[in-house]
A = this chain, B = another copy of it.
Amino acid sequence: MNSEPTTRVNPFNIVPKYHQLYDILRQQIEDGWQPHEAIPSERELENLYNVSRTTVRQALNLLVNEGYLYREHGRGTFVARPKLQHSLHLLTSFTDDMRLRGLQPGQRLLSLKYVEPTSRVRQQLDLSAEVSEVLKIDRLRFGDAEPIGLHTAYLPLAGGQAITEEELAARGSLYDVLESKFNLLPAEADETLEATVADEHEASLLQVPMGSPLLLIERTTWAQTRRPMEFVKMLYRADRYKYAVHITR
Protein backbone atom coordinates (compact mmCIF):
# COMPACT_ATOMS: atom_id res chain seq x y z
CA MET A 1 0.00 0.00 0.00
CA ASN A 2 0.86 3.67 -0.04
CA SER A 3 3.02 3.38 -3.10
CA GLU A 4 4.07 6.64 -4.70
CA PRO A 5 1.26 8.18 -6.67
CA THR A 6 1.96 8.67 -10.37
CA THR A 7 0.28 12.08 -10.43
CA ARG A 8 1.29 14.70 -7.94
CA VAL A 9 -0.11 17.92 -6.55
CA ASN A 10 1.94 20.82 -7.87
CA PRO A 11 2.21 23.61 -5.27
CA PHE A 12 3.15 26.16 -7.94
CA ASN A 13 0.18 25.43 -10.18
CA ILE A 14 -2.43 28.20 -10.36
CA VAL A 15 -5.08 25.53 -9.83
CA PRO A 16 -5.73 25.18 -6.09
CA LYS A 17 -4.27 22.08 -4.47
CA TYR A 18 -7.65 20.78 -3.34
CA HIS A 19 -8.87 20.97 -6.91
CA GLN A 20 -5.83 19.18 -8.27
CA LEU A 21 -6.37 16.44 -5.71
CA TYR A 22 -10.07 16.34 -6.62
CA ASP A 23 -9.12 15.80 -10.27
CA ILE A 24 -6.62 13.08 -9.41
CA LEU A 25 -9.06 11.17 -7.22
CA ARG A 26 -11.96 11.51 -9.63
CA GLN A 27 -9.73 10.09 -12.34
CA GLN A 28 -8.91 7.05 -10.22
CA ILE A 29 -12.58 6.55 -9.37
CA GLU A 30 -13.57 6.64 -13.02
CA ASP A 31 -10.65 4.49 -14.12
CA GLY A 32 -9.61 1.87 -11.71
CA TRP A 33 -11.21 1.88 -8.31
CA GLN A 34 -14.16 -0.42 -7.77
CA PRO A 35 -17.50 0.56 -6.24
CA HIS A 36 -17.56 0.05 -2.46
CA GLU A 37 -13.77 -0.14 -2.38
CA ALA A 38 -12.14 1.89 0.40
CA ILE A 39 -9.89 4.70 -0.77
CA PRO A 40 -6.77 5.68 1.23
CA SER A 41 -7.57 7.29 4.58
CA GLU A 42 -7.41 11.04 4.93
CA ARG A 43 -4.12 10.83 6.81
CA GLU A 44 -2.67 8.58 4.12
CA LEU A 45 -3.72 11.06 1.44
CA GLU A 46 -2.01 13.84 3.43
CA ASN A 47 1.29 11.99 3.16
CA LEU A 48 0.82 10.72 -0.37
CA TYR A 49 0.23 14.17 -1.79
CA ASN A 50 2.02 16.39 0.74
CA VAL A 51 -1.00 18.48 1.61
CA SER A 52 -2.74 19.20 4.88
CA ARG A 53 -5.72 17.23 6.08
CA THR A 54 -7.93 20.31 5.58
CA THR A 55 -7.00 20.31 1.91
CA VAL A 56 -7.63 16.58 1.64
CA ARG A 57 -11.07 17.01 3.21
CA GLN A 58 -11.87 19.92 0.91
CA ALA A 59 -11.25 17.68 -2.09
CA LEU A 60 -13.16 14.78 -0.54
CA ASN A 61 -16.13 17.01 0.32
CA LEU A 62 -16.47 17.92 -3.34
CA LEU A 63 -16.39 14.28 -4.38
CA VAL A 64 -18.88 13.28 -1.68
CA ASN A 65 -21.25 16.09 -2.62
CA GLU A 66 -21.11 15.02 -6.24
CA GLY A 67 -21.83 11.42 -5.33
CA TYR A 68 -18.46 9.93 -6.29
CA LEU A 69 -17.62 8.91 -2.73
CA TYR A 70 -19.39 8.23 0.53
CA ARG A 71 -18.04 8.25 4.06
CA GLU A 72 -18.70 5.99 7.02
CA HIS A 73 -17.67 7.34 10.37
CA GLY A 74 -15.04 5.12 11.96
CA ARG A 75 -14.74 2.88 8.87
CA GLY A 76 -13.44 4.89 5.96
CA THR A 77 -14.26 6.59 2.67
CA PHE A 78 -15.62 4.47 -0.16
CA VAL A 79 -16.24 4.64 -3.88
CA ALA A 80 -19.92 5.07 -4.68
CA ARG A 81 -21.76 3.22 -7.42
CA PRO A 82 -20.78 4.35 -10.90
CA LYS A 83 -22.58 7.48 -12.03
CA LEU A 84 -25.55 6.84 -14.25
CA GLN A 85 -25.19 7.92 -17.87
CA HIS A 86 -25.38 11.64 -18.40
CA SER A 87 -27.31 13.26 -15.60
CA LEU A 88 -29.70 15.32 -17.63
CA HIS A 89 -31.14 18.66 -16.74
CA LEU A 90 -28.36 20.30 -14.84
CA LEU A 91 -29.56 23.72 -15.85
CA THR A 92 -28.82 23.23 -19.50
CA SER A 93 -30.29 24.96 -22.49
CA PHE A 94 -32.52 23.00 -24.83
CA THR A 95 -29.66 23.09 -27.29
CA ASP A 96 -27.25 21.40 -24.89
CA ASP A 97 -29.99 19.08 -23.70
CA MET A 98 -30.58 17.78 -27.21
CA ARG A 99 -26.86 17.34 -27.86
CA LEU A 100 -26.54 15.30 -24.65
CA ARG A 101 -29.33 13.07 -25.90
CA GLY A 102 -27.51 12.66 -29.19
CA LEU A 103 -30.01 14.63 -31.25
CA GLN A 104 -29.40 17.55 -33.57
CA PRO A 105 -31.09 20.61 -32.05
CA GLY A 106 -33.17 22.92 -34.21
CA GLN A 107 -35.80 25.60 -33.83
CA ARG A 108 -38.39 27.64 -35.65
CA LEU A 109 -39.12 31.08 -34.28
CA LEU A 110 -42.87 31.57 -34.06
CA SER A 111 -42.93 35.03 -32.55
CA LEU A 112 -40.69 37.54 -30.78
CA LYS A 113 -42.24 40.67 -29.33
CA TYR A 114 -42.68 42.86 -26.28
CA VAL A 115 -45.87 42.28 -24.33
CA GLU A 116 -47.42 43.52 -21.14
CA PRO A 117 -46.67 40.89 -18.48
CA THR A 118 -49.56 38.97 -16.93
CA SER A 119 -49.69 38.94 -13.16
CA ARG A 120 -48.34 35.41 -13.19
CA VAL A 121 -45.31 36.45 -15.24
CA ARG A 122 -44.93 39.57 -13.15
CA GLN A 123 -44.79 37.49 -10.01
CA GLN A 124 -42.40 34.86 -11.36
CA LEU A 125 -39.97 37.51 -12.62
CA ASP A 126 -40.36 39.60 -9.47
CA LEU A 127 -41.07 42.69 -11.55
CA SER A 128 -41.50 46.08 -9.95
CA ALA A 129 -44.72 47.97 -10.65
CA GLU A 130 -43.18 50.37 -13.14
CA VAL A 131 -42.00 47.63 -15.52
CA SER A 132 -44.58 47.65 -18.28
CA GLU A 133 -43.28 45.13 -20.78
CA VAL A 134 -41.26 41.97 -21.13
CA LEU A 135 -39.86 40.18 -24.15
CA LYS A 136 -41.92 37.14 -25.18
CA ILE A 137 -40.36 34.52 -27.43
CA ASP A 138 -42.31 31.59 -28.87
CA ARG A 139 -40.33 28.83 -30.45
CA LEU A 140 -40.92 25.37 -31.81
CA ARG A 141 -37.99 23.14 -30.96
CA PHE A 142 -36.72 20.20 -32.97
CA GLY A 143 -34.57 17.17 -32.37
CA ASP A 144 -33.20 15.62 -35.54
CA ALA A 145 -35.67 17.75 -37.52
CA GLU A 146 -38.72 16.33 -35.72
CA PRO A 147 -40.79 18.62 -33.50
CA ILE A 148 -40.25 17.89 -29.81
CA GLY A 149 -41.24 20.91 -27.79
CA LEU A 150 -43.00 24.24 -27.73
CA HIS A 151 -41.32 26.97 -25.67
CA THR A 152 -42.70 30.29 -24.51
CA ALA A 153 -40.10 32.41 -22.74
CA TYR A 154 -40.58 35.71 -20.91
CA LEU A 155 -37.47 37.83 -20.36
CA PRO A 156 -37.27 40.88 -18.07
CA LEU A 157 -35.16 43.09 -20.34
CA ALA A 158 -34.63 46.71 -19.40
CA GLY A 159 -35.47 49.48 -21.84
CA GLY A 160 -32.32 49.56 -23.93
CA GLN A 161 -31.79 45.81 -23.91
CA ALA A 162 -33.12 43.83 -26.81
CA ILE A 163 -32.66 40.61 -28.68
CA THR A 164 -33.27 40.40 -32.39
CA GLU A 165 -34.46 37.47 -34.43
CA GLU A 166 -31.12 37.46 -36.23
CA GLU A 167 -29.09 37.08 -33.04
CA LEU A 168 -31.26 34.23 -31.87
CA ALA A 169 -31.05 32.50 -35.23
CA ALA A 170 -27.28 32.91 -35.38
CA ARG A 171 -26.62 31.52 -31.89
CA GLY A 172 -29.39 28.94 -31.74
CA SER A 173 -29.43 29.01 -27.95
CA LEU A 174 -31.16 31.82 -26.06
CA TYR A 175 -28.82 31.24 -23.14
CA ASP A 176 -25.84 31.88 -25.42
CA VAL A 177 -27.31 35.22 -26.46
CA LEU A 178 -28.09 36.22 -22.88
CA GLU A 179 -24.59 35.32 -21.76
CA SER A 180 -22.66 37.00 -24.55
CA LYS A 181 -24.81 40.11 -24.75
CA PHE A 182 -25.86 40.78 -21.16
CA ASN A 183 -23.45 38.59 -19.19
CA LEU A 184 -26.41 36.70 -17.75
CA LEU A 185 -25.45 33.21 -16.60
CA PRO A 186 -28.04 30.85 -15.11
CA ALA A 187 -27.18 30.00 -11.51
CA GLU A 188 -30.29 28.25 -10.27
CA ALA A 189 -33.81 27.45 -11.30
CA ASP A 190 -37.12 26.16 -10.03
CA GLU A 191 -39.07 23.85 -12.27
CA THR A 192 -42.52 22.36 -11.95
CA LEU A 193 -43.64 19.44 -14.08
CA GLU A 194 -47.10 18.18 -14.86
CA ALA A 195 -48.90 16.11 -17.43
CA THR A 196 -51.38 17.58 -19.88
CA VAL A 197 -52.90 16.81 -23.27
CA ALA A 198 -52.46 18.60 -26.57
CA ASP A 199 -55.11 21.09 -27.72
CA GLU A 200 -55.72 21.68 -31.39
CA HIS A 201 -53.08 24.37 -31.82
CA GLU A 202 -50.39 22.51 -29.90
CA ALA A 203 -51.22 19.27 -31.68
CA SER A 204 -50.78 20.79 -35.11
CA LEU A 205 -47.45 22.41 -34.25
CA LEU A 206 -46.04 19.32 -32.58
CA GLN A 207 -47.52 17.01 -35.22
CA VAL A 208 -49.37 14.73 -32.84
CA PRO A 209 -53.08 13.87 -32.58
CA MET A 210 -55.19 16.12 -30.41
CA GLY A 211 -55.41 14.72 -26.91
CA SER A 212 -51.91 13.25 -27.00
CA PRO A 213 -50.06 13.40 -23.69
CA LEU A 214 -47.63 16.29 -23.23
CA LEU A 215 -45.18 17.10 -20.47
CA LEU A 216 -45.58 20.70 -19.27
CA ILE A 217 -42.54 22.20 -17.58
CA GLU A 218 -42.46 25.70 -16.13
CA ARG A 219 -39.13 27.10 -15.18
CA THR A 220 -37.99 30.26 -13.44
CA THR A 221 -34.27 30.87 -13.78
CA TRP A 222 -32.09 33.12 -11.65
CA ALA A 223 -28.80 34.62 -12.79
CA GLN A 224 -25.63 34.62 -10.74
CA THR A 225 -26.73 37.95 -9.31
CA ARG A 226 -29.80 36.10 -8.00
CA ARG A 227 -32.15 38.19 -10.09
CA PRO A 228 -34.77 36.39 -12.18
CA MET A 229 -33.62 36.18 -15.79
CA GLU A 230 -36.27 34.02 -17.43
CA PHE A 231 -39.68 32.45 -16.99
CA VAL A 232 -40.47 29.80 -19.56
CA LYS A 233 -43.25 27.35 -20.28
CA MET A 234 -42.22 24.25 -22.17
CA LEU A 235 -44.53 21.69 -23.69
CA TYR A 236 -42.97 18.41 -24.76
CA ARG A 237 -44.24 15.47 -26.74
CA ALA A 238 -44.46 12.58 -24.28
CA ASP A 239 -43.30 10.09 -26.88
CA ARG A 240 -40.10 11.97 -27.57
CA TYR A 241 -39.13 13.56 -24.29
CA LYS A 242 -38.43 12.17 -20.85
CA TYR A 243 -37.17 14.23 -17.92
CA ALA A 244 -34.48 12.85 -15.65
CA VAL A 245 -33.42 14.12 -12.25
CA HIS A 246 -31.02 12.96 -9.60
CA ILE A 247 -31.88 13.56 -5.97
CA THR A 248 -29.53 13.56 -3.01
CA ARG A 249 -30.21 13.80 0.69
Would you call B192 and A195 a contact (CB within 8 A)?
no
Chain B CB within 8 A of A196 CB: yes
User: Smallest distance from the beta carbon of A82 to chain B beta carbons, Å?
Assistant: 10
What secondary structure prevails in chain A residues at the interface with B? Answer: strand
Partner of A191 from the list B36, B226, B236, B245 (CB cut-off 8 Å) is B245
Residues of B within 8 A of A87 (CB): 190
The stretch of A16-24, A146-154, A170-178, A207-215 in contact with B is A207-215
Nearest chain B residue, comparing its CB with the CB of A216? B195
- Please give the count of copies of this chain that the complex contains: 2
Would you call B80 and A246 a contact (CB within 8 A)?
no
Residues of B within 8 A of A241 (CB): 194
Residues of B within 8 A of A54 (CB): 54
Nearest chain B residue, comparing its CB with the CB of A91? B247
Would you call B247 and A81 a contact (CB within 8 A)?
no
Would you call A238 and B81 a contact (CB within 8 A)?
no
Most buried by B among A189, A213, A249: A213
Would you call B194 and A197 a contact (CB within 8 A)?
no
Would you call A80 and B226 a contact (CB within 8 A)?
yes
Partner of A196 from the list B188, B195, B224, B248 (CB cut-off 8 Å) is B195
Would you call B195 and A91 a contact (CB within 8 A)?
no
- Which residues of A are at the interface with B, using a C-beta cutoff of 8 A? 35-36, 54, 65, 67, 70, 78, 80-81, 84, 87, 89-91, 126, 186-197, 211-216, 222, 224, 226, 236, 238, 241-249
Other than A191-B244, A192-B244, A213-B213, give 4 A-B pairs with Cβ distance below 8 A: A187-B249, A190-B244, A190-B245, A194-B241
| 8 pairs, A vs B, C-beta closer than 8 Å | A91-B248, A190-B245, A192-B242, A194-B241, A194-B243, A195-B238, A197-B197, A245-B245
